[in-house]
Every structure is written in structure tokens, then in C-alpha cells.
Amino acid sequence: MPNEVKVKVMKAAAPRERTLREKAYIPEIARGLRITAAHFWGNLFIHIKRLFGIRTKERGSVTYQYPEERRPLSPRVRTLHRLVKREDGSPRCVACMMCETICPAKCIYIIGADHPDPNIEKHPLQFDIDLGVCVFCGLCVEACPEDAIRMDTGILEFSAYSREGMIYHMKDLLR
Ligand code: SF4
Ligand code: SF4
């Protein structure tokens, strides 16, 4: 047979039979707690030694003291959307619907209208993004021909008490 492709089928390893001790759960839970506690107290001890000026080769684990201290974000990270403004404060968006069309989560809702300026074809009357549905893929930013939508606000913490609260309107997005 011409161009026959041979495929080697690998058999998945059978899962290991759990021991009686593992099946009982309690000893394993106790073992996990013991390991966690050992790390916690060991780390605390290193920090206490350093606090009292005792020189030690060991470096205790440190963490960011969130929310007072925040981890620096990469310039490439995608954060909360913003609609770019023109000099007069109006949105640069021309309601071309490219972002709404490409959005895989279908969470952008735009209503466009003719722009009062004859040099600009359209502008958005309504521009909503449902951040409760958005997957932060950044395709809306990539698709925009006017560089009118960006994800560079650096804002990562946004929450709401309701699903409706996660819908950001044009006034929230214009920055
Ligand atoms: S980031 Fe992705 S999912 Fe979110 S609004 Fe833009 S295109 Fe839609
Ligand atoms: S792609 Fe850009 S210009 Fe077009 S509707 Fe979206 S934000 Fe507006």
C-alpha cells in the first residue's frame, strides 16, 4: 500500500493500586498536614532568626504583602479593557463591530450610530463588555482597526455582587 503510515500505539500505564494506608485517607491527610506544618514552622524560624540579626545561610520564603504590595506586571499582560478617547473625550471607536464579531465569548455588545462629524462614519451609542463572560483572549484588541480598545489598564481586581455588576458600560470603559 503506497505511503503507509505506521502508528505505534502506546498503552497507558495502569493506575497503581492504592495501599490500605492510602485508602484509609486519615494517615495521608495527617502526613500532608505534617509536611505543611514543617515548612511553615521552619520558614517562620528562619525569619525570626533574621529578625534578631542572627546570620543564616538559609533564605526564608517571602511573599508579596498583598494588597499593600503588588507584584510588578509584565508589559504584555492583558488587564481590564479600556476604550481609548479622542482629544475631545469621545471614544475613538467607530462602531465597526470587528471586536464584537471576533469575540469568542460573545460578550461585547455595541450599538452604533452615525457620527455628527461628517469625517467620521460612526460612533458607539452603547458599548458594553460582560467581564463575567470574557476570557481575556485579547482578540478584540488585535482586531480593532482604530486602536480604540486596549487591555493595558493594569487593573486585575474587579468583582461584583451580581452578574449584572460585571457588565461594564462605555462610561466605565472610557479611560
Ligand atoms: S478579551 Fe476576548 S473574550 Fe474578552 S471581550 Fe475581548 S475578544 Fe471577547
Ligand atoms: S473593533 Fe475597535 S473600532 Fe471597531 S467596534 Fe471594536 S473598538 Fe470600535
Ligand nearest to the CA of 134: 1
Q: What is the pLDDT of residue 16?
A: 87
pLDDT value at 1 more than 70: no
CA of 8 to the centre of ligand 2 (A): 49
pLDDT digits (tens, 9 = 90+) for 98-125: 999 999 999 999 999 999 988 888 999 9
- Closest-CA residue, ligand 1 atom 6, reads 140
Distance 72 CA to ligand 2 centre (A): 29
Stronger pLDDT, 128 or 20, i.e. the higher one: 128
Q: Is 96 helix (H, G, I), strand (E, B) or coil?
A: coil
pLDDT in tens, 26-72: 999 999 999 999 999 999 999 898 888 887 777 888 888 888 998 89
**Per-position DSSP letters for 62-91, written without gaps between them:** ----TTTS-PPPPTT---S-EEPB-TTSSB
Measure the CA–CA gap between 118 and 97, rounded to whole angstroms. 19
Query: Does pTM surpass 0.85?
Result: no
Is the pLDDT at 3 greater than 70? The verdict is no
> With a 6 A CB cut-off, is 143 part of the ligand 2 pocket?
yes
Dist. CA 104 → ligand 2 center (Å):
15
pLDDT at 11: 79
Q: How far is 118 from 62, CA to CA, in rounded Å?
A: 58
